[in-house]
Amino acid sequence: MKFITKLAASAVLLGLASQANAAVTLVKTDDTTVTLGGYVKADLRHVSGDLSYRDFWIGNAPAAVDTAQTKLNVKESRLQFKVQHDDVTGVIELDFYGSGGNEIISNSTSPRIRHAFIKYQEWTIGQTWSTFMPLHALAETLDFGGAHVGEVFIRQSQIRYSKGGWSFAVENPETFGSSDETQETVPDFIGRYDHKGSWGQISVAGLLRQVDQNGIDETAAAANIAGKFLLSGKDDIRVQLNVGEFGRYAGTTVVPGIATNPDTNEVEVESGIAYTISYRHFWNDDTRSTVFYGNGQSDLSDHDRSHWGVNLLTNITPKLKYGVELGEYSVEDAGINLSSAYFQLSAQFAF
């Protein structure tokens, strides 16, 4: 037991953690449980078209270059370390999409922090998924995160209080869109309500944030509505819609926090719309397919970017699955019409 306890303590110091549901119990006493979990995921990915290769698509505009490139990587693999003591839980999570590494010899990349938070009764304090993010509406994809361009996808430090279906949080503020220094004197404020039933789950959320960049001092507002709807068998439909001045919260940079108005040449708070829809069908208990589409558009900067895909996934065992996915990411900004298709094979072992 002493050896296991020391091993667990060393894991904390080394940050060996992941947000996946931990499955291996390292220590268990009357009031404390220490678990380690995560998954190993290996990807083979081919990208061809007008946009440069990416390990996964986000809402940006990759370099316009004639591309036909294949890569293999394991960067999405992750580890979770979780300690539960009575009604206090601490979680640290890492994956391997950090900086550094090369493909000449070692293919080593630095771990990066994903989650590090404390949960006590109704309170969550630390870095984790934003309260504005509807996890239940994310599609099951092989491309890491799916259609980022149309969804809320953000982790950051926060203080959250949850009671019943309600959640309220103050979260780390950040405005992007210019190199000018920001003041960020107040945190972002988020409120959210979730309702679950035998038919599925639906949520609505609101966001208020201060924009204080380039001489602007305004309060930006945005809203999100999302749902997961259960169909016959194990099939489901998942949707989300984001509208307003959400900035970095949705679309993964497709909508900047601020932009220049082409009519007045003045910098203003940017607004946009981002949405996703997906349908998952089970062919049998172990095999299923998801068809998904996401789109993000901005107003002043005139961005219009989309991502679609279709996949086939099979579980060989409850913990081991593999699959194939085909899709395309396109950029149709003002004066631009570029796209790249991708093909991905993945195998994943969860533990």
pLDDT of residue 8: 38
120 vs 86, 124, 158, 186, CA distance in Å?
9, 6, 14, 24
The whole-angstrom separation of Cα 144 and Cα 152 is: 14
Using CA atoms, how far residue 248 sits from 30, 88, 254, 281, in Å, is: 43, 31, 8, 31
DSSP readout, 255-287? Answer: S-SEEE-TTT--EEE--EEEEEEEEEEESSSSE
Tell me what pLDDT residue 104 has: 87
pLDDT recorded at residue 216: 87
C-beta separation of 216 from 269 below 8 A:
yes
pLDDT of residue 106: 87
pLDDT attached to residue 179: 63
Per-residue model confidence (pLDDT) at position 181: 65
Cα torsion 8, 9, 14, 15 to 10°: value is: 70
Write the Ramachandran bin of 142: left for phi over 0, alpha for psi from -120 to 50, otherwise beta.
Answer: alpha
Mean pLDDT by 10 residues, the chain (351 residues): 40 37 79 95 98 94 94 96 95 91 85 97 98 98 96 97 97 82 85 97 97 87 98 97 97 92 91 98 98 97 97 97 98 93 98 93
This model's pTM is above 0.85? yes
Return the pLDDT at 12.
35
- Which amino acid, one-letter code, is at 240? Q
The torsion angles phi and psi of 23, rounded to 5 degrees, stand at -125, -15
Q: Sign of dihedral through CA atoms 209, 244, 148, 132?
A: positive
Task: Tell me the domains of the chain and their CATH numbers.
Answer: 39-77+120-350 (2.40.160.10)
pLDDT at residue 20 in the model: 44
7: part of which helix (H) or strand (E)? helix 2-14
